[in-house]
Amino acid sequence: MTSIQHNLQQVRQRIAAAAARCGRAPEEITLLAVSKTKPASAVEEAAAAGQIPFGENYVQEGVEKVQALAAHPHLEWHFIGPLQSNKSRLVAENFAWCHTVDRQRIAQRLNDQRPLTLPPLNVLIQVNISDENSKSGIMLEALSELAQQIAELPQLRLRGLMAIPAPESDYDRQLAVCQQMADAFQQLKQHYADVDTLSLGMSDDMEAAIAAGSTMVRIGTAIFGARDYASKPQQ
């Protein structure tokens, strides 16, 4: 077993333990392996241990990996980074999911650029739940209007919500923020039959996210090790 495979096993155990503590089944929580800045060979190692969904933050890097790993068509690629309009076509053409839709204009572009030969792109609305410094994500007040607009686009499938809470080390405060997201998710679910995904929880807050009701945790460092940004230009 490689170290990536060992780490994956540990993260899966952490998810199972967190789920058990709040009476949830571990199968309710999908592990998204965040492979940004890591080579295709690292993805292959994780894939060999049964990992299927992978998350990428940078469009160009993500597309290169998707194409390099075309021999593994069962892998499921999620775009989880900030999305600029001029990169939306690459996301629409190469990914199965986009977690960071936060405005009508970008939703419309993804819809128009999604090839008709592919199934609709699964999208999550990114909510800015607690991070005043972040420009990504919409406010909760604007959620229902954007959800309605997305639901009308035939090449998009609204699956739920995503958030990146501001870093917070106190468990109870993490839980309070995650609970706000979970409430918004439950409300959205009542209006849209396809909504089933709350993408919430990273290495440092996944226990609180799972306790609140997250259905997808996004984990990078704990699986692939620390990222070396020096060797990779940012996009």
15 binds ligand PLP (CB under 6 A): no
Which of 58-66, 102-110, 143-151, 213-221 is the region at the interface with ligand PLP (rule: CB under 6 A)? 213-221
The tokens of 104 are what?
């009508």
The residues pairing with 127 across neighbouring beta strands, listed in sequence order, are 138, 163
Task: Please check whether residue 234 is in contact with residue 60, taking contact to mean a CB–CB distance below 8 angstroms.
Answer: no
Taking CB under 6 A as the criterion, the residue among 167, 221, 225, 232 binding ligand PLP is: 221
| Nearest residue (CB) to ligand PLP, 7 versus 70 | 7
Task: Supply the DSSP string of 90-146, one letter for each residue.
Answer: HHHHH-SEEEEE-SHHHHHHHHHHS-TTSPPEEEEEEE--S-TT---SB-GGGHHHH
Query: Least distance from C-beta 221 to ligand PLP, angstroms?
Result: 3
Burial environment of residue 30 by CB neighbours within 10 A (0 to 12, 13 to 18, 19 or more) = middle
Chain Cα centroid distance, residue 25? 20
User: How many CA atoms lie less than 13 Å away from 207 in the CB half-sphere?
Assistant: 12
Binding mask 78-107 for ligand PLP (x = CB under 6 A): --x---------------------------
Which of 43-51, 108-116, 143-151, 216-224 is the region at the interface with ligand PLP (rule: CB under 6 A)? 216-224
164 binds ligand PLP (CB under 6 A): yes
Give the integer Cα–Cα distance in Å for 18 and 207.
6
Taking CB under 6 A as the criterion, the residue among 12, 24, 36, 159 binding ligand PLP is: 36
Number of residues that bind ligand PLP (CB under 6 A): 12
| Nearest residue (CB) to ligand PLP, 96 versus 151 | 96
Which of 23-31, 38-46, 140-148, 212-220 is the region at the interface with ligand PLP (rule: CB under 6 A)? 212-220
